Structure 1
Amino acid sequence: MFEIPKEVEDYREKVRDYVQKVVKDYAKYMDETNEGGEKIVRDFGEMGLLGMKIPSKYGGLGLGEIAFAIATEELGTESGGASHSLHTQLNALQLLVSIGGDSAKDLIEKGIKGEEIYAVALTEPAAGSDLGALQTNAKLDGNELVLNGEKIFTSAASFSTKMVVLARTSGNPGDKNGISLLLVDSKTAGVDIHKLDLMGIRGAGVSYVKFNNVRIPKDSIIGKEGDAFKGAIKALMVSRNGYAGIAVGIARGAVEDAINRASARKQFGKALIDQEWIAFNLADAYIKIEAARLLTWKAASLLDNGIEALTEASMAKYYAAITAAETTRTALHIFGGHGLNRGSKVERLYRDSKIMEIAEGTNEMQLLAVSRSFQTKK
């Protein structure tokens, strides 16, 4: 049984209130225009909540990973795009903490306040889950680094002020050594950003980015040169669990609306929810959401206690993603033809749910991570 500290419960209420007052109506705008993530980030900066899980020595609240999972869940009930926008900033800050530490304190503090909005440039056309295969490179030329390469699915890039970029500063693709984390101003000459038109999590600024002879100061390297791989893997493990929270929220938002719909809609003289097959499908969805949340909180609890939770985070992300896909489909069926209307909440969450099975590591990659955990015990 998880006992949520009062400060985290207070935080949940603050996020929930924001969701009801702002995100509930704003979500449709984000989905229709593919804009709006910047407002979410700025709002959270002004509310003092971007530092929720960042240690207090960097100006954060230090509330931990369960608070992070709760926040992404609450936002996800109305908008995958809004939740992803928050997730991206905390992912970026986690990278700065894991790789930069005290040397990145100023960058972390600015991110917490919302003074800087960070894009996370990790994934490449030929290097997704296999970070060691990345080909983006930065070569020293005098007092500058010259950055070349391509990044795909770069979250928040279209409205970012800065990018944290994983690039190779030595070695060859496939080597885990020689990978560095760089800080790049998003408006630097040679940085070409094209926002993607994704089916879900719209408004989160997910973009294709090309670096064409981008010249940056050699002190743009965050942390120790060539030693960013382990820190990046650690940050991704943590962010994977946050993404499980988004999926739980999407599932919950769709099912809560479906319950309301089934309770109000009457057919053949009684409410839909009184039809056994409707009630049983909703009960099944409700159970799966609860199980997904508990898996997510278990991994978060381990991380909060300083215990590596790669397997647990992978299990949470895998099961939550599947739950989101299955339960939003169930909800859409209960809405019937009304659920097919472009722009309806259940239709929007249905599209958001598919992203959950792909982003932050596909379902197959999560299964691979889990299978390796018991293979090593032989």
Structure 2
Amino acid sequence: MFELTKEQIEYKEKVKEYAQKVVREYAKSMDEKNEGGEKIVRDFGEMGLLGMKISPQYGGLGLGEVAFAIATEELGAESGGASHSLHTQLNALQLLVSIGGDSARKWIEDGVKGKEIYAVALTEPGAGSDLGALQTTAKQEGDELVITGEKIFTSGASFSSKMLVLARTSGNPGDRQGISMLLIDSKTPGVEIHKLDLMGIRGAGVSYVKFNNARVPKDSIIGKEGDAFRGAIKALMVSRNGYAGIAVGIARGALEDATNRAASRKQFGKSLLEQEWISFNLADALVKVEASRLLTMRAAYMLDKGIEALTEASMAKYMAAVTAAEVSRTALHIFGGHGLNRGSKVERLYRDSKIMEIAEGTNEMQLMAVSRALQPKK
């Protein structure tokens, strides 16, 4: 049976306290203004959260993926945007470790300390989950690389200091070779950043980025030139499970609020919680939240043990995303008209939940990944 260690339990309480004391008060403003992610990330740096799953050799705590799942759930229960901001930074650091290793030590250590805030520019308008089809190019001219292309849904870009850019340095679209990862200054001339006005995870700085012949030094390439595809896929597998953690948190936050509302609200002489259809809906939601958490923790545990968990991470992400959408919708029904008020927590979590079914690979992409496990082994 899976159980948290004493260290993980203590860590959970630390993050939960921060989420309930700080994020809970800040979440509404973050959502309304579509800003505030930078403050949250700075807080994460001061608390040591940015190094939670980074090896001590790079200045991290080395607590692993289980700790990451714990943190994303606790933060997600209060704000999808805040939890997503943590996810973005750790995703960037995972990419630096996976692709750059010791050659990127300085940037990893600076990220762990919160000295640098990173954005991850992978997704393109015409190349979402299919990284091999990316169109952004970085062509060498003398000692410089000239970057041309577009990126969409680039998390953290609007307040980032540095940007990780996946670009083609050789080959043709569709080739897995020839893709490199560049680390550039976000204020590089020729880089245009336009913050998006998304329905959910607001305040996380998700942006459209255009590269208009942006010139950067050739040594901006992290790791081996043309060999970033495999490392990017590996990091995305890990980040997929992080998104499952966010979704579990959103579902749990909605369930807790709906349960409290049902217990305190009386109709026809008894509380809503005593009404059978409501208690059954909440019971169904509880089962799905617990199942989603267990799937997420299983994948995290496997990753911590060095076991490939592509199928398990996809299962967790799919189940948790569907659960977040279902449970937050149930919560809205229980709150009735009060839940429809713009800015109410359940209304905000409902909007956050829809992003979970699309970002980091849609529900359909997760099912496609899981379906491969059904094929006969050769």
TM tier relative to shorter chain: over 0.9
Report the residue type matching 1:42 in the other structure: R
Q: Which sits farther off after the overlay, 322-331 or 5-14?
A: 5-14
Q: Structure 1 stretches of 5 or more lacking a match?
A: none
Determine helix, strand or coil for the equivalent of 2:226.
coil
1:329 alignment partner AA:
R
CA distance in 2, matches of 1:366, 1:49: 28
The DSSP-based 3-state class of the residue aligned with 1:50 is helix
User: Are residue 110 (structure 1) and residue 110 (structure 2) matched?
Assistant: yes
Q: Aligned partners of 1:110, 1:21: CA distance in 2, in Å?
A: 27
- Letter of the structure 2 residue corresponding to residue 3 of structure 1: E
Q: Secondary structure at the match of 1:306?
A: coil
Q: Which residue of 2 aligns with 1:59?
A: 59
- Mind listing any 5+ residue stretches in structure 2 that lack a counterpart? none
SS in 1 for 2:51: coil
Tell me how far 1:376 sits from its aligned partner: 4.9
After superposition, give the CA deviation of every residue in 1:334-359 in whole Å (9 maximum; x if it has no partner): 00110100000000000000000000
1:376–1:104 CA distance, 2 compared to 1 (3 A): farther
**Per the alignment, in what secondary structure is the counterpart of residue 50 of structure 2?**
coil
**How large is the RMSD of aligned CA atoms in angstroms?**
0.7
Q: Residue 120 of structure 1 corresponds to which residue in structure 2?
A: 120
Cα pair distance change 1:209/1:376, threshold 3 Å: farther
1:231 pairs with 2:200: no
Which position in structure 1 is the counterpart of 2:322? 322
2:33 corresponds in structure 1 to 33
State the match for 1:219 in structure 2: 219
Corresponding residue for residue 15 of structure 1: 15
* Partner AA of 1:339 in structure 2: G
Give, in angstroms, the shift of residue 153 of structure 1.
Answer: 0.2
Q: How far is 1:377 from its partner?
A: 2.4
Report the 3-state secondary structure (helix = DSSP H, G, I; strand = E; otherwise coil) of the residue aligned with 1:256.
Answer: helix
1:91 partner letter: N
Any idea what SS the aligned residue of 1:150 has? strand
Residues 57-108 of structure 1, C-alpha deviation per residue, up to 9 Å, x if partnerless? 0011000101001100000001000000000000000000000001111000
Percent of paired sites with the same residue: 82
The AA in structure 1 aligned to 2:92 is: A
Partner of 2:89: 89
Matched length: 378
Deviation of 1:374 (Å): 1.8
Say if 2:260 is the partner of 1:253: no
TM-score after normalising by structure 1: 0.99
Q: What is the Cα deviation at residue 284 of structure 1?
A: 0.3
1:148 counterpart SS class: strand
Partner Cα distance (1:50, 1:140) in 2: 34
Secondary structure of 1:10's match?
Answer: helix
Q: Say whether 1:241 aligns with 2:252.
A: no
The one-letter code sitting in structure 2 at the alignment partner of 1:368 is: M
Distance across 2 between alignment mates of 1:308 and 1:75: 26
Matched residue of 2:120: which SS? strand
1:141 is matched with which residue? 141
Write the distance in 2 (CA, Å) between the matches of 1:148 and 1:5.
48
